């Protein structure tokens, strides 16, 4: 399957002091969304209600986090008429305050997200000074009291020749669709992973158009009456819930989680070789850049140096940030960096962290060749011209590919116009 094009950098045509000094911004796959999120409108239920029902509105459906699509290269959307039997006539007819006060955990509510406005479509929805075609995402996974309606909607989509494309990663979509998909998937996954309050253990309610969760003070359902954290009495009908720390002070909401992750191209001290590693589960000959999570109270540069040393034993000096990539599996922000070894710090030692099966230094020339003919997703065929036994690398939709392309394309000397560090 052909690899999709990458998104265009923002305002790439605009000349500025920063672009002259650092080069054109690098845009990675899953970024470059065409939507204006207008996040400040998420609590305005009059706005959301009008956007929900507008004829130009598109709804991206997910079943168990699998998106509705014609095939792996094209998303498809539903209309409000399609989803109305599942979400009701207007899920935004009441204010957030009313929804919180009337919360009933025994009633399943389909997870609905407002994603934003596509302002390129001038004939779409208008609200005050904002305009464009609205986009929503909806979880149609059959569960609880909505199982029957969800199953009916799923069958309706399938009757149109559409499918919910399964798979761990969806990296064959056009760049703009991939960015919309990434936003929707990350938020739906976060909501699904956080149905209970981390403090008191009671069910939570999704608010703010799907971007926050709160622990309501009341529940109209019959609940287990919790007397203190970790202890319960017999189930008794109750509406008042136990005290919860999340309802006191300013920390009264749960926000979506984003995990910062560093991924780095590592150069030898003489800039002639690049450090690559591989995990045991990867196909033969397949290597990539090293990566790892940023820990609390750690700078990005420190995380790069620590992860490289822990995984390979190599010691880094200077570290610079290259670009970033949203990664919705489940909620990472990949922070791409380039680091260079200290003189004498290039010895590979794999005894610290057992994550890598192998790590090795590869010449810049060999990496250049592999970027031309040896890139693909895991389990996919290499490009035309690849010879068995040659180096395999990630596709251009992965930030690892962008980092390797930068260091082999003259970035450090400022020769490709992308960045001069």
Identify the pLDDT of residue 419: 42
| Backbone torsions φ then ψ of 326, nearest 5 degrees | -65, 140
Residue 317: its H or E element: strand 316-327
SS3 236: strand
Higher-pLDDT residue of 15 and 222 is 15
User: Bridge-partner residues for 341, per DSSP?
Assistant: 316
Q: Is a pLDDT exceeding 90 seen at residue 178?
A: yes
pTM for this entry:
0.92
Q: Which tens digit of pLDDT belongs to each residue from 392-405?
A: 999 999 999 999 99
Question: Six-digit token pair at 192?
Answer: 């699904």
Q: Which tens digit of pLDDT belongs to each residue from 302-335?
A: 999 999 999 999 999 999 999 999 999 999 999 9
Burial (Cβ within 10 Å: 0-12, 13-18, ≥19) of residue 122: exposed
pLDDT tier, 124 (very low <50, low <70, confident <90, very high otherwise): confident
Contact 298, 310 (CB under 8 A): no
Contact 357, 279 (CB under 8 A): yes
Q: Cβ of 49: how many Cβ atoms within 10 Å?
A: 16
Contact 180, 319 (CB under 8 A): no
């Amino acid at each position: 399957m052909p690899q999709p094009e990458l998104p265009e950098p923002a305002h790439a045509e605009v000349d500025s002091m920063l672009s002259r000094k650092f080069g054109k911004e690098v845009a990675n796959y899953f970024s470059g969304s065409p939507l204006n999120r207008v996040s400040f409108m998420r609590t305005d239920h009059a706005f959301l209600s009008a956007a929900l029902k507008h004829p130009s509105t598109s709804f991206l459906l997910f079943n168990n986090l699998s998106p509705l699509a014609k095939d792996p290269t094209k998303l498809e959307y539903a209309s409000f008429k399609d989803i109305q039997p599942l979400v009701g006539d207007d899920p935004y007819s009441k204010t957030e305050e009313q929804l919180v006060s009337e919360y009933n955990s025994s009633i399943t509510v389909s997870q609905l997200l407002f994603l934003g406005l596509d302002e390129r479509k001038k004939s779409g929805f208008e609200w005050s000074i904002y305009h464009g075609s609205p986009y929503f995402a909806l979880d149609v996974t059959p569960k609880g009291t909505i199982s029957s309606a969800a199953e009916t909607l799923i069958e309706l989509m399938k009757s149109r020749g559409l499918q919910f494309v399964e798979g761990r990663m969806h990296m064959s979509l056009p760049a703009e669709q991939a960015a919309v998909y990434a936003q929707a998937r990350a938020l739906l996954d976060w909501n699904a992973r956080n149905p209970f309050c981390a403090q008191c253990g009671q069910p939570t309610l999704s608010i703010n158009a799907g971007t926050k969760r709160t622990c309501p003070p009341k529940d109209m359902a019959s609940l287990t009456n919790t007397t203190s954290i970790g202890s319960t009495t017999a189930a008794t009908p109750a509406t008042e819930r136990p005290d919860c720390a999340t309802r006191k002070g300013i920390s009264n909401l749960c926000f979506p989680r984003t995990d910062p992750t560093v991924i780095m191209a590592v150069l030898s001290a003489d800039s002639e070789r690049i450090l690559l590693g591989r995990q045991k589960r990867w196909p033969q000959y397949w290597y990539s850049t090293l990566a790892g999570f940023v820990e609390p109270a750690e700078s990005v540069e420190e995380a790069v140096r620590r992860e490289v040393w822990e995984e390979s034993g190599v010691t880094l000096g200077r570290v610079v940030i290259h670009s970033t990539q949203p990664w919705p599996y489940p909620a990472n922000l990949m922070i791409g960096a380039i680091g260079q070894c200290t003189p004498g710090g290039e010895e590979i030692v794999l005894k610290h962290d057992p994550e890598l099966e192998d790590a090795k230094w590869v010449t810049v020339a060999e990496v250049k060749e592999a970027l031309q003919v040896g890139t693909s997703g895991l389990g996919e065929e290499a490009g035309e011209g690849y010879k068995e036994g040659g180096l395999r690398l990630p596709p251009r939709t992965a930030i690892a590919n962008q980092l390797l392309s930068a260091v082999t394309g003259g970035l450090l000397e400022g020769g490709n116009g992308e960045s001069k560090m």
